[in-house]
Amino acid sequence: MELLKLKELIQGIPKAELHLHIEGSFEPELMFEIAKRNNIKLEYDSVDSLKKAYKFSNLQEFLDIYYIGAQVLLHEQDFYDLTWAYLTKVHSQNVVHVELFFDPQTHTDRGVDFGVVINGIYKALEKGRQELNISYKLIMSYLRHLSEEEAFKTLEASLLYSDWIDGVGLDSSEKGNPPSKFERVFEASAKHGYSLVAHAGEEGPVEYIWEALNLLNVVRIDHGNRCLDDEALIQELIEKNIALTLCPLSNVALKVIHKMEDHPVLTLLEKGVLATIHSDDPAYFGGYMNENYYETARALHLTENHLRQLAINAFEASWLSQAEKDKNISSVNNYFDSYIG
């Protein structure tokens, strides 16, 4: 497909974002603005010098900068502005549903109250629902480099706001922090009514994906690239209809893969895995949903049908009700059926 046409096609697809860390949508311009009003001096003296630091050899190098950036977020207004900036950005890309992660411990460990964080995020999400027609779910992630005990404290703190929280996730430094470390807190989270997901098989081995499935009982795997190392696991993912929320630009930026042409999404789609494409930390990795679709389609020569399948898969894998899924999937199908390329 001609590249201009491909861009136009992707722009119009109604899309669902299922793998997005709100702290990873913190654009440098907004970071400097909030740092200034909070009287915080960033280690970098300009937006340009900060952007120049966005060169990563692995997940940890990224996380080190990501946690520094998040330190300027102090007040409810800051979390609100961050979330609202994200929503207006993705609205312009025709994203109609978001399931977003936030990392409470990144903030509570600095003395910022759980309520301050979630109130800001929630108010922006509600405004997005009313004014931009973006439906949403909210996922609280436990930081896996911290202890399970710390995760339990976070679960406890969340209970006051459990009506606003749909699920829990597991993120941060994967290697050396297997899902098994969090088995009890995931079990307790489920008892409180939270749905479960976990990052697994991004940098970590295929065993971590098995653990996330068998010990944590997750309903989706975030990333999961490494599943291609294990045919039995692929069969398990297909049988149980477990989605993999893949993040192509993130994988290139963090050297999970060498180049986009090596991305596993097409192989996984062709095997029948419920694979989806998302943006992870778009302010750091060079793009939001459209850019992820576009760069992947270009490198792997995806067809219109592949793109249709990816868009449908994301609604299928979402936590929307069956009626809401059907409505969104119909609008994806109507869009492709009437598209004249």
Position among 17, 280, 291, 295 found at the interface with ligand ADE (CB under 6 A): 280
Position among 17, 99, 202, 211 found at the interface with ligand ADE (CB under 6 A): 202
Residue with smallest beta-carbon separation from ligand ADE = 171
Pick from 127, 132, 128, 107: which is nearest to 118 by CA?
107
Residues in Cβ contact with 214 at an 8 Å cutoff, skipping those fewer than 6 apart: none
Q: CB-wise, 74 or 221, nearer to Zn ion?
A: 221
Q: Is 226 in the site for ligand ADE (CB under 6 A)?
A: no
Distance CA 281, CA 318 (A): 19
Q: Is 250 in the site for ligand ADE (CB under 6 A)?
A: yes
Which residue type does 143 have?
Answer: L
- Token pair for 339: 């598209």
- If one counts every other C-beta atom within 10 angstroms of the C-beta of residue 12, the result is 12
* 256 interface partner picked from ligand ADE, Zn ion, none, CB below 5 to 8 A per type: none
Position among 281, 289, 295, 296 found at the interface with ligand ADE (CB under 6 A): 281
Shortest Å distance, C-beta 330 to Zn ion:
29
Which residue type does 193 have?
Answer: G
Q: Is 59 in the site for ligand ADE (CB under 6 A)?
A: yes
Number of residues that bind ligand ADE (CB under 6 A): 11
* 202 interface partner picked from ligand ADE, Zn ion, none, CB below 5 to 8 A per type: ligand ADE
* 182 interface partner picked from ligand ADE, Zn ion, none, CB below 5 to 8 A per type: none
State which of positions 8-37 bind ligand ADE (CB under 6 A): 21, 24
202 flagged as catalytic: yes
Q: Is 171 in the site for ligand ADE (CB under 6 A)?
A: yes
Shortest Å distance, C-beta 206 to Zn ion:
18
Residues in Cβ contact with 38 at an 8 Å cutoff, skipping those fewer than 6 apart: 72, 74, 75, 78
- Token pair for 261: 């042409």
Q: Is 220 in the site for ligand ADE (CB under 6 A)?
A: no
- If one counts every other C-beta atom within 10 angstroms of the C-beta of residue 149, the result is 9
Shortest Å distance, C-beta 301 to Zn ion:
26
Pairing of strands 15-21, 195-200: unpaired
* CA 148 to the chain's CA centroid: 22
17, 23, 174, 202: the catalytic one is 202
Cβ–Cβ < 8 Å for 196, 141: no
Q: CB-wise, 129 or 145, nearer to ligand ADE?
A: 145
Pick from 321, 240, 224, 236: which is nearest to 280 by CA?
224
Q: Is 280 in the site for Zn ion (CB under 5 A)?
A: yes
Q: CB-wise, 6 or 143, nearer to ligand ADE?
A: 143
In three-state secondary structure terms, 96 is strand
Distance CA 132, CA 92 (A): 10
Q: CB-wise, 200 or 332, nearer to ligand ADE?
A: 200
Q: Is 172 in the site for ligand ADE (CB under 6 A)?
A: yes
Residues in Cβ contact with 128 at an 8 Å cutoff, skipping those fewer than 6 apart: 83, 84, 87, 91, 98, 134, 136
For Zn ion, the binding residues (CB under 5 A) are 280
For ligand ADE, the binding residues (CB under 6 A) are 21, 24, 59, 66, 171-172, 199, 202, 250, 280-281
Looking at the annotation, which residues are catalytic?
Answer: 202
